[in-house]
C-alpha cells in the first residue's frame, strides 16, 4: 500500500477507525448538522442566533453545543454576556458538506 495513504488514515487497520465512527455518530443528528452548516456560513454565532437558524429552542441547541464542544467540534469565546460558538476547525464542516453533496447526488440533484 502507498505510504501516503497509510499516513492519511486510509489503512483499514488504523486505530482511528473507532474515533471516526464517533465523529459520524456525533454528526448523525439533523440539528447538529444544521449547527455546523450555520457556523460554517456565518463563522461565529450565539446560542440564541443558532436556535433561530435551526428552528429549535435555545435550551435544546445548548445541549447539542455542549456535546459538540466535548467532541472538540466547536469552541467558545465570551463576548460580554454572550457565549459565541465557532467551529474548532474545518473538518466537521467538510464532512457535512460532503454528506450533503452525496445526498444531492443520490437524489439526482
pLDDT tens digits for 58-83?
999 999 999 999 999 999 999 999 99
Name the 3-class secondary structure at 2. Answer: coil
Q: What is the mean pLDDT of residues 52-61?
A: 98
Provide the pLDDT confidence category of residue 10 given band limits of 50, 70 and 90.
Answer: confident
Q: What is the pLDDT of residue 7?
A: 57
pTM, rounded to two decimals: 0.86
Alpha helices in the chain (DSSP H): 3-7, 17-26, 30-42, 47-54, 58-70, 91-106
Q: Which three cell numbers stand for residue 95?
A: 464532512
Amino acid at each position: 500500500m502507498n505510504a501516503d495513504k497509510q499516513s492519511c488514515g486510509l489503512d483499514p487497520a488504523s486505530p482511528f477507525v473507532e474515533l471516526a465512527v464517533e465523529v459520524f455518530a456525533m454528526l448523525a443528528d439533523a440539528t447538529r448538522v444544521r449547527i455546523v452548516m450555520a457556523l460554517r456560513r456565518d463563522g461565529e454565532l450565539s446560542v440564541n442566533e443558532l436556535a433561530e437558524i435551526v428552528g429549535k429552542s435555545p435550551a435544546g441547541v445548548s445541549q447539542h453545543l455542549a456535546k459538540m464542544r466535548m467532541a472538540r467540534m466547536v469552541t467558545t469565546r465570551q463576548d460580554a454576556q454572550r457565549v459565541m460558538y465557532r467551529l474548532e476547525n474545518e473538518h466537521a464542516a467538510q464532512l457535512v458538506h460532503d454528506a450533503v453533496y452525496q445526498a444531492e447526488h443520490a437524489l439526482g440533484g
